[in-house]
Amino acid sequence: MMSAMTQTRGASVVIVGGGVTGLSAGWWLARAGVDVLVLDKSIVGWEASGRNGGGATHVYSPFGLEEQRLWPQMDELLGYPTEHQPFRIGVALTDTQLALARRWAEIGEMRGFRWESLDRRQLKELVPIVGDNAIGGTYLHFGGHANPQRTVQAYAWALQDHGGRILQHTTVTGLVQRGGRVTAVETTAGTLGADVVVIAAGPQTGAFAEMLGVWLPVAPARVEMIATEPIPLMHVGGVAGNGLYGRQTLRGNLVYGGGPHEWINVPDMATPEHTNTPLVRNLARRLAELLPGAAHVRVIRAWSGLVENTPDGLPVVERLARPDNVVIATMSSVGFGLSPASGRAISELVQHGRCLFADLGALALGRFADTPRDWRERAGWVAASPAVAAVAGGNG
């Protein structure tokens, strides 16, 4: 530990959080020649960034067009495989599911993307393991999916290839402020100087904002996924529906999540163990309903992850007014697929003070200025405790 303290130096840009957003930002900065250091309390991409559905179809977002433009190039840009695969198929078992799938497709159409409506016969030709319970679906000629685990490591390695640095197993304990700026971060590996600090710390982002006197309402929750043994590859791996998100991996595993989340309190900067619940059974059922031809396939693992949400479920990506050398980023539980674009936006906020390719006005922190401290209780996300309700006042 002592040697780490003496050897580690700060960087022009220090990124707090080695999740997919921080890593992408670090990679974009490093490839632009910026001296960048990413800090993570454990291993890069170890939390929700490396354990999610891998979806890359978020055309509704301000980052959506850039997401769609970048993903097909990512393997080449990074120099490492992300397993990105294009296209999505939506399977509907009910009229309302079909309406949702079509609405999702139409939002893409509004941005100029192509899609087709599928009847049951067409659906079964494309996805032979759907059942007679399917009523139809959609074939999106946009969007796609990638392997989260491989992608986070690809960002990390590519960042290093461009001269950036990563410090794992290093917890940030404080932010040093002087003259209206953050001048350094305090860590378990010593105090590290920085010209600009990016905070992209997932569920802990709100706590770091708090250290700067900035109110960022985020609520952490646990979500769960299951993975099956491999089955023969489908024509399109990005098949989902019936209240599940997920994909077939290039190895052939069916990897799906969905259903109820559990809002939790994260007591401190530590991330708790990844615990599953009997929800894995409910997920198995939904998947067997979605793909009856695979009902006999074995589930070989499940996992859980912690994600954070803002009150409106939309990201916050902003360069603060004060301290003015800090960028704060939470993707509000939808970060993986958008990461090529969100990282680019952050790197531009760091270098130019603004995002050059998209209008981030909708993602500004100011929209929560009047959000009261007890917003989670008011929204019914967590049970109101009388004691908390009594002391909680509006933030104003």
Partner 1 sequence: MPELDRRSYAGKAPTPERHVPLVVVGAGAAGVAAAVEAARAGVEVLLLDEHPVDNDMMAMDVPLCFGQRMDATVRNRGAMLERVVETNPALAAADEAGVDVQLGAYVWGAFVNGPTVQELPSPMLGVADDRRSWLVGWDRLIVAAGARDVLLGFPGWERAGTLGAAGAAALLTRYRALAARRIVVIGSGALGLHTAALALDHGVEVAGIVEVDAHVRGDAAAARALAARGVPFFTGHTIRAGRGRTGEIESLVIVAVDGAGEPIAGRETQIACDAVVMAIGQTPSVELLHLVGARLRFASPLGGWVPELDGSMRTTVPTVFAAGDCAGVHDAMLAAPDIARDQGRIAGAAAAESLDRVDRTRRGAAAESRGPVNEARHSFAGGESLGPVNEARPGFAGAESHGPVNEARPGFARAESLDPVNEARPGVAGAESLGPINEARPGSAGARRTDGGVRGAMSGPPDYWQRWLASLIAAGGWEVNVCQCEEVTRRELVETKPPRYLEWDSPQMSARSVGTLLRDGPVNQDQIKRLTRAGMGPCQSRRCREQVGLLLAQAAGTTLDRIPLPTFRPPIRPLPLNVLWPDDEPAAMREHWVSWFGIPTQFSPHWEPGMVLDEPTAHTRLIVSDE
Which helix (H) or strand (E) is 205 found in, with range? helix 205-211
Q: Which stretch binds partner 1 (CB under 8 A): 190-198, 298-306, 322-330, 345-353?
A: 298-306
CB of 61 to partner 1, least distance (A): 6
Rule CB under 8 A: say whether 301 interacts with partner 1: yes
Residue of 193, 272, 366, 394 that binds partner 1 (CB under 8 A): 272
Residue of 12, 122, 133, 168 that binds partner 1 (CB under 8 A): 168
Residues 6 or more apart from 37 whose CB is under 8 A from it? 10, 11, 13, 14, 15, 164, 165, 166, 167, 192, 194
In degrees and rounded to multiples of 5, residue 9 shows phi and psi of: -115, 160
Rule CB under 8 A: say whether 159 interacts with partner 1: no
Residue of 27, 139, 142, 303 that binds partner 1 (CB under 8 A): 303
CB of 180 to partner 1, least distance (A): 32
Interface map 110-149 toward partner 1 (x if CB under 8 A):
x--------------------------------------x
Tell me the one-letter amino acid at 382.
V
Hey, what are 290's tokens?
């979605």
Touching partner 1, residues 170-199 (CB under 8 A): 171
CB 136 within 8 A of CB 120: yes
166-170 contacts, C-beta under 8 A, 24 or more apart: 166/18, 166/26, 166/37, 166/38, 166/40, 166/44, 167/8, 167/37, 167/38, 167/39, 167/40, 168/18, 168/40, 168/42, 168/43, 168/44, 169/40, 169/41, 169/42, 169/43, 170/4, 170/39, 170/40, 170/41
182, β-bridge pairs: 177
Q: Which stretch binds partner 1 (CB under 8 A): 6-14, 194-202, 267-275, 345-353?
A: 267-275
Rule CB under 8 A: say whether 385 interacts with partner 1: no
Residue of 213, 380, 393, 396 that binds partner 1 (CB under 8 A): 380
CB of 23 to partner 1, least distance (A): 12
Q: Which stretch binds partner 1 (CB under 8 A): 128-136, 210-218, 270-278, 339-347?
A: 270-278
Residues 2-30 as b or e (16 or more Cβ within 10 Å = b) = eeeeeebebbebbbbbbbbbbbbbbbbbb
Touching partner 1, residues 212-241 (CB under 8 A): 221-222, 228-230, 240
Q: Which stretch binds partner 1 (CB under 8 A): 131-139, 189-197, 276-284, 341-349?
A: 276-284
Rule CB under 8 A: say whether 260 interacts with partner 1: yes
Q: How many CB atoms lie within 10 A of CB 359?
A: 9
The footprint of partner 1 on this chain (CB under 8 A) covers a number of residues equal to: 99
65, β-bridge pairs: none
176 DSSP assignment: E
C-alpha–C-alpha distance, residues 97 and 112, integer Å: 23
Of residues 69 and 169, the one with the C-beta less far from partner 1? 169
Touching partner 1, residues 10-69 (CB under 8 A): 41-44, 50, 60-62, 64
CB of 266 to partner 1, least distance (A): 8
